[in-house]
Chain A
């Protein structure tokens, strides 16, 4: 379970995330949507323990600020841009991640084979990452995020660069993981995909959480895209009024 209490992150004077609180139950796929620069990536980085922040974040009852190592052991983070160690081979990178998580040889072999084959990157694992396309790097990053069986999966725009087959397969994997009680919190701009696969949705604008509920309650009879556009224009109206 992911619990965020009063998360605030400032970069000098700019407030990137403002007093954000939400709880994502176990086995839930939660989409995290919002305009560019709304604070999605900052929130994900805070949860992953990459940047310091004000407030409290709990992952499976572990405080990220107080016990970052314990928290990191049960989460996986996929950044928005797959910047990987280009000088390594695909298998070298996965072995590095397995070493970090202490996964034994037989186990890592089995998991790498399963996920790499499902995402269509297995045949390229002996090649250097520098020869990979953007999509292949993204596939490798996703495999690396899955091999240690995390309890929380943090994904920043995970579908960018994936081919349709891989994209479909990854959606299936996400659902399987959620069914086995893994929590998935992911940022996206692809609203129709989010609408189809997510249980919950959180909408953030200018660092503030403007809506958080189940997908059904948020969308009601409208599409997620329509709801999002209405919320975005409402916020703009309010901003204009306060300026006037």
Chain B
């Protein structure tokens, strides 16, 4: 068992050292930076929950904010972590090495499970912790509730780990039967991800919220999200039995996940090692391209051949389209019933859309994903400017069609004045470009070049964490500010003017980032 613990510690240490910096001199600075961003995100999420809690409290059901928080945490964990399991268990570079050592397979699986669990826990914590705080502001603080809450924090990720391990095992068990494994794996991953996004949106549609207000938590929610429901019940009522059921469900989830991986771990990994020999008869093409186009093609190959790299970005973009459909339909209902004015719906959409595109730019991990190949790239006569352009432009272009489609869907279903439509297009497109540049700069500063699986490069670098945090904070703050101005101090600030101010800020930020890249970028590039 000690081997499993040692291996888990190695994995987690590796993740943390890559996130924070391996150099002690920079550790403090990076810790402060991450800590500050972490607090901003936690505060912004807490503020949003506070608004929800106020509405629940007005109808005497303030405790429901806890359930909303738990559900939101589950959805986020599912969206963010569900595909990671594939890379942790089945596409890891260390399989041949570990399988050559006299270590029991179960210990390796346990180590991998807990290292994946750790990342899931971090994401879960960011949402559940502020939900707890808000819950205790609106509800009495009792010893059992606090105790249950603390213990549950560590067990909540078992659900997303279960779904992740089921996805990963099914996808890879199918994939190994095919010759073109990458293509099959990517197609299946996209299908599963789109299905998951659809499920999450159907689950969290306005009917669920209406039911929460009127007749409480629906039965199907209690069944599917039984883990959350029993925790909610234990914390609000203080019943020990509910907490015991929560513990039993969580442990069962963990056991099923580990059992499932144990069954398929060796089979899948062994088959994955035997790569196909490819088509040898195909005629060779010697077509000439410009350096930039050639680099862009390389970026595209890299993007579409990595399930985690592609899905990390595309899931956000599919989410964007789902968001535009949901918000435009819900927005129409809300404006018709005078629940919310159209200005607030437009505000919600434009900044939520910007937030989604700001959180997923592939440029934030485009250097890390190169790994050791980056040295080869550096030895070639490719100018730094061309490298920047190829990585930033690819990141921007991959999002652009989704942004345009999503905006068209939104403005078609939810009618808005021409000026607002123009503002929506400008902000979302400029946000995508700005965050592509920002992500690239952050990755240039904090690349993660030594990784064991692509998830570590794509999701667990400091650059990715900061891009996600800045993307969230910089768009949540304007939403909260506009709502605050509208409801709290009754300041009537037109949405067009508000977006115009944000647009100006965004332009200044973009110009500053380009200037920073021009001045310091090359130095950072040489240091890698």
Contact = CB atoms under 8 A, between A and B. Distances in A.
A99 B294 contact: yes
A143 B282 CA distance: 20
The secondary structure that dominates the A interface is mixed
B306 interface: yes
Given A52-B527, A87-B302, A96-B298, A104 B288 contact: yes
Given A91-B284, A101-B381, A125-B284, A50 B375 contact: yes
Quick one: which of B280, B372, B380 has the most chain A CB within 10 A?
Answer: B380
A105 interface: yes
Nearest to A112: B286
A108 B284 CA distance: 12
Interface string A119-160: 000011111101100000000000000000000000000000
A33 to B, nearest CB: 22
A85 interface: yes
Interface string B7-44: 00000000000000001000000000000000000000
Contacts, number: 112
A51 B186 CA distance: 36
A98 interface: yes
Contacts of A92: 301
Contact of A123 (B276, B280, B306): B280
A95 interface: yes
Contact of B375 (A45, A100, A101, A124): A45
Contact of B301 (A12, A87, A124): A87
A161 interface: no
A185 to B, nearest CB: 14
Nearest to A77: B379
Contact of A12 (B23, B373, B376): B23
A109 B280 contact: no
A87 B305 contact: yes
B382 interface: yes
Interface residues of A, number: 46
A79 interface: yes
Nearest to B522: A68
Contact of B275 (A69, A83, A124, A131): A131
B285 interface: yes
Nearest to B23: A12
A50 B293 CA distance: 23
Given A69-B383, A100-B381, A131 B298 contact: no
A38 interface: no
Given A50-B379, A92-B301, A84 B286 contact: no
A12 B25 CA distance: 11
Given A97-B380, A130-B275, A131-B275, A105 B287 contact: yes
Nearest to A116: B284
Interface string B341-376: 000000000000000000000000000000111011
In this complex, the member of B287, B293, B371 whose beta carbon has the largest number of chain A beta carbons within 10 angstroms is B287
A127 B375 contact: no
Interface of A: 12, 45, 48-52, 69-70, 72-73, 75, 77, 79, 81, 83-89, 91-92, 95-105, 108-109, 112, 123-128, 130-131
